Amino acid sequence: MKFNEELSSGQYYSITAYDIGCVEINNKIISSTCIVSPNYADKWEVNDFQTLSAEQIMELIALKPEIILLGTGTKHMLPNEPLLKTLVNTHIGFEIMNTTAACRTYNILMNEGRNVVAGLFMIEQQA
């Protein structure tokens, strides 16, 4: 699902909406786990936050952000120990929160001109 559109000078990827099962990036609906930063947006081949590995988080780290946001889906979850160690050892700021909070925080930081990257797991329907 790589975004093929070219961004104009001064234009960035922003989260324009979010709902159960999807986020909208620059008015394009994405219905799978994804990565978004001001200059990059793509599908993220990760299915479950609980099994997120250090290798998978490297896709976010490779973008060289000053802060990483992880949106864990409907509920806030804590990372597994190997993932937490990897994040701490990068010396990059990180925050882990539910996906709705991560979407709002991403837009605030992006609009402040911060080099932020978010890994977003989809919001699930509550029973």
Q: Per-residue pLDDT tens for 31-48?
A: 999 999 999 999 999 989
Structure tokens at 91: 């010396």
Q: Which residue has the tokens 């099994």?
A: 51
Supply the CATH number for residue 97's domain.
3.40.1230.10
| pLDDT tens string 77-108 | 999 999 999 999 999 999 999 999 999 999 99
Q: Is the pLDDT of residue 1 over 60?
A: no
Positive/negative CA dihedral, 44, 45, 47, 52: negative
Residue 4 has pLDDT above 60, yes or no: no
Residue 87 CA to its chain's centroid (Å) = 14
2 in any annotated domain: no
10 located within any domain: no
Q: Which domain holds residue 80?
A: 15-120
SS3 40: strand
- Mean pLDDT confidence for 118-124: 96
Q: Does the pTM exceed 0.75?
A: yes
Asked whether residue 71 is domain-assigned, the answer is yes
Angle at 39 between CA 111 and CA 63, to 5 degrees: 105
Count of the separate structural domains present in the chain: 1
